[in-house]
Amino acid sequence: MNSINTSAGNPVTAVAGDPSASVPTVAPAAEAGADAAYKAKATEAAIKFEGFFIAHMLHQMRSGTRELSAEDSVFKDQVNSDMLDMADTLVADKMAGQRAFGVADAILRQLLPASPVAPASHARVSTAAAAASSAIK
Bridge-partner residues for 25, per DSSP? 13
Long-range CB contacts (within 8 A, 24+) of 123-130: none
d(C-alpha 5, C-alpha 90), whole Å: 42
Let me know whether 107 and 52 are in one domain. Answer: yes
User: Tell me: the pLDDT tens digits for 16-72?
Assistant: 555 555 555 554 445 445 588 899 999 999 999 999 999 999 999 988 888 888 888
Report percent pLDDT > 90 for the chain. Answer: 35
Q: Is residue 89 domain-resident?
A: yes
d(C-alpha 32, C-alpha 112), whole Å: 11
How many domains is the chain partitioned into structurally?
2
Q: What is the pTM of this model?
A: 0.55
d(C-alpha 9, C-alpha 97), whole Å: 31
User: Tell me: the pLDDT tens digits for 77-115?
Assistant: 777 788 888 999 999 999 999 999 999 999 999 998 765
Range of the domain at 60: 35-118
Compare 74 and 60 and report the one with higher pLDDT.
60
Provide the H-helix boundaries in 5-121. Answer: 28-32, 36-68, 81-97, 103-111
Q: Is residue 65 domain-resident?
A: yes
Q: Is residue 125 domain-resident?
A: no
Q: Is residue 124 domain-resident?
A: no
Let me know whether 50 and 64 are in one domain. Answer: yes
Let me know whether 16 and 47 are in one domain. Answer: no
pLDDT at 24: 53
Give whole-number Cα distances, 55 to 30, 51, 64, 75, 100, in Å. 35, 6, 14, 18, 13
pLDDT at 51: 95
Let me know whether 22 and 71 are in one domain. Answer: no
